[in-house]
Structure 1
Amino acid sequence: MSVWDSLVGQKPVVDMFSRIAQGDPSQITQSWLICGPPGSGRSNMARAFAAALESPDHGMSAEPTRVTQQVLAGTHPDVTVLTTNKVTIGIDQVRDIIATSEQMPATAPWRIIIIEDVDRMLERTTNVLLKEIEEPSERCIWLLCAPSAQDVLPTIRSRCRVVNLAVPSTAAVADFLVSNTGAEPKIAQRAARLSEGHIGIARLYATNERVMSDRDELIVGVLNLARASDAVLLAGNLIDNAKGQAEADANEWAGKQEAEFRRINGLAEGERIPPKLRGAFNQVAKKDDVKRYSTRRTRDVLDRALNSVASIYRDVAVLQNNAEDSVGLINLENRTAITELSVRLNRAGAVARLDEVAHARKRLAGNGNPLLTFEALFCALIP
């Protein structure tokens, strides 16, 4: 299959990037801003475009070339990806990536720099990047990724060609899950619907029974809120589940880092680390790095929880406006309880609760205490 086949529901952008990759190199834009909602595949799109630009076949062969495989695996010497497990991208990371961008490509036509989550940069960090984006080195292409153009400073935005990705349809995501994870069609369809077009979350729901179960419990808990004590208990359970998921993910990540170190250095699992490698080994998945990874994953889980809570009141609004036939419900399994809630709340009440979810999201973004934030949110949601 071609390098583009793993991208879901983005045919117009795929067609454009494919044409550009096969076109006149002297006419290519060197600074891009690829925008799309979480889960739309913006970083995967950047990697696919990079592979198409670097590979002799422009990513179109049924069998991917060695260059394509290297780019997608993150091992190509001329394609550098800046990502972070931290809350923000540091200024030193950006300075290092700028130094890399000024080098001529070693084996491929272009030196390509991909920055995931460029919106995680603080303003002073973004200012360091500005000049390179405005006047890239002769053989360098910048591919920046963000949820939306509005999440990036105007000074950066105005110097890039902006590409907007769509939210993939439920049917497209379900088909992708069936073909790529082996999920049963019914499970894939449900995971795609509940993910609201977020491919990564859809994959998680389709392959991780615990995550799906935690979501089901959260939806039922919100729909059954009646007293402040219910809100406190539900918030506590949610935070505990989030920490549990994050710690499991962090330990898995640390294990993969150690396994990769052993593979590169020809060490078997459990084999003693030679003295000359101990210093390097101690830098792999350090305790602080694991803690930062766990913190970010906790935030991801809580953000996903907020999306799930918001979907309840989205469904309430759909029923109140007789729009189910045109846009459908997300939480079909809870249709009876949501129908009852749509009668108990007026339209202003449903909108007010969506505002409460947005307010909770702002509190978390501002490093508010997660437990207190969700206790306050769930109290505000009681009918």
Structure 2
Amino acid sequence: MTTPETDPLTGIWRDLAGQEPAVTVLRRAVADPALMTHAWLITGPPGSGRSTAARAFAAALQCPSGGCGECRECHTAYEGSHADVDLVSTEGLQIKVDQARELVQLAARAPSVGRYRVIVIEDADRLNDYSGNGLLKAIEEPSPRTVWLLCAPSVEDVLITLRSRSRQVRLRTPPAASVAQLLTRRDGIEAPMALYAARAAQSHIGQARRLARDEGARIRRHQVVGLAGRITGVGEAVGAAADLMAIAEEEKQAALTERNASERERLVLTLGADPAARTQPPHIRAQLSALEREQKTRATRFTRDVIDRTLIDLLSVYRDALVSSAGGGVELVNQDNAALVGQVARAFSPAGLLGAMDAIGLARERIAANVPPLLALEAMAISLQLPR
């Protein structure tokens, strides 16, 4: 018989590449009520599988077999359609207090068909002081058989009042080989492409899948990393910042334009109006204005996320150059672009490479703090000029 200790990544847990230690903890809690607690905080770097782990845990808590991955309870809980499992995420910049109050009311209800009522907050780092404190009492004094699963990149990203009342489970960055094996098994991607994508995405499972399946995404990444070898002056730096913004805008348009139009049409039809009409009645215009505000907030977050991802790609070049110049036996992220890595390694001293990495990190922090992205990118790019 398979046990958590011998083979943790089976059943509902099979998509958690490289996370055997964390899965073992969660599986033991499912199997032994004495190890179960009412609130969990699942943390890990982007792409490590935080939401996947939380969904799998929720499914295992409802499954009669503890997470077989085949039964109706597993499928519905994992997908968020189970009556006693609620998946909460936001496409905005924050989770608002009104939504937190709704969750408190939900948490007070007894489970209707399952063993637990499970509430998964996939973006617990987006709880602000008001919404986070709104949840505090419900998490501090939980209803019987209610389980909270909070997900965030790190413990420090969650309000201290919440994390101090939660049991912490930390995911790690999975090995690129494990991510490649997952892409091949789950998505049918050929092994060489899967391994390239896993390395280029720095083991971010979602981004690796996207790179492996989308040629446009691979082209845009190639353009981003290529900037490291082109910034030779202030003019080129300003141009590079503009290029990064253009790449983000292109990806935003590709991802959101059709979706926004579809949402608008669906709303108008639901309200019983004609989507092709040039003007709409006042009550419909009010609904459309609310939808447009939501879409604008989503676009802002999406643009920030895309820019942050491109900066991580750019950072990988300087990281590889530092590893190369140090002569370490560490695997390069950009093995397919060794010539560029060598060029950057020869141009910068080790201190210069660290300075470039710091400049990229500072740009990410500034954008997260609402500095206009183009200004932050221009300041960063000026710091990345190749030494003459």
Q: Provide TM-score, normalisation by structure 1.
A: 0.89
Deviation digits for residues 19-39 of structure 1 (CA, Å, limit 9, x no counterpart): 221223x65111100000010
Following TM superposition, by how much is the alpha carbon of 1:341 offset from its aligned partner in structure 2, in angstroms?
2.1
Structure 1 residues 254 and 147: alpha-carbon distance in aligned structure 2, compared to 1, 3 A threshold:
same
1:254–1:18 CA distance, 2 compared to 1 (3 A) = farther
Q: Which residue of 1 aligns with 2:312?
A: 307
Structure 1 position 157, deviation (Å): 1.4
Q: Which whole-Å CA distance do the structure 2 matches of 1:261 and 1:189 have between them? A: 42
Q: What residue number does 2:322 align with?
A: 317
Equivalent in the alignment of 1:10: 19
- Counterpart residue number, 2:297: 292
1:347 paired with 2:350, answer yes
Alignment partner, residue 67 of structure 1: 73
Residue 231 of structure 2 corresponds to 225
Q: Deviations over 1:202-236 (max 9, x none)?
A: 11111111111011011112222112121222221
- Runs (5+) with no aligned partner, structure 1: 271-277
SS at match of 1:245: helix
Q: Which residue identity is paired with 2:183?
A: L
Number of equivalent positions: 370
Deviation at 1:252, TM superposition (A): 5.0
* SS of structure 2 residue aligned to 1:214: helix
**In the TM superposition, what are the counterparts of 1:33-182 in structure 2 within 5 Å?**
33-60=41-68, 64-182=70-188
SS in 2 for 1:3: helix
SS for the counterpart of 1:141 is: strand
TM-aligned CA deviation for residue 258 of structure 1: 8.1
CA distance in 2, matches of 1:256, 1:60: 37
CA contact (8 A) 1:258 1:285 kept: no
Percent of residue pairs bearing the same amino acid type: 37
Change (3 A) 1:165 1:285: farther
Cα distance per residue 1:12-54 (max 9 Å; x no partner):
2222222221223x65111100000010010110010000001
Q: Verify the 8 A CA contact 1:250 1:293 in the aligned structure 2.
A: no
Instruction: Specify the code of the residue in structure 2 equivalent to 1:310.
Output: L
- Alpha-carbon offset, residue 248 of structure 1: 2.1
Displacement of 1:339: 1.6
Per-residue Cα deviation, 1:39-80 (whole angstroms, up to 9, x for no partner): 00101100100000012122125xx11111111221111111
Any conservation in 2 of the 1:50–1:71 contact (CA below 8 Å)?
A: yes
Structure 2: 5+ residue stretches without partners? 1-9, 276-282
Change (3 A) 1:250 1:101: same
Deviates more, 1:283-292 or 1:245-254: 283-292
Q: Which amino acid letter does the alignment assign opposite residue 377 of structure 1?
A: M
Question: Pairwise CA RMSD of aligned residues?
Answer: 2.8
Q: SS of the counterpart of 1:162?
A: strand
Of the three residues 365, 372, 383, the one matched with 1:380 is 383
> Quick one: which of 181, 191, 202 aligns to 2:208?
202
1:297/1:42 Cα in 2 relative to 1: closer, same or farther (>3 Å)?
same
Q: Distance in 1 between matches of 2:309 and 2:195?
A: 19
Deviation at 1:125, TM superposition (A): 2.1
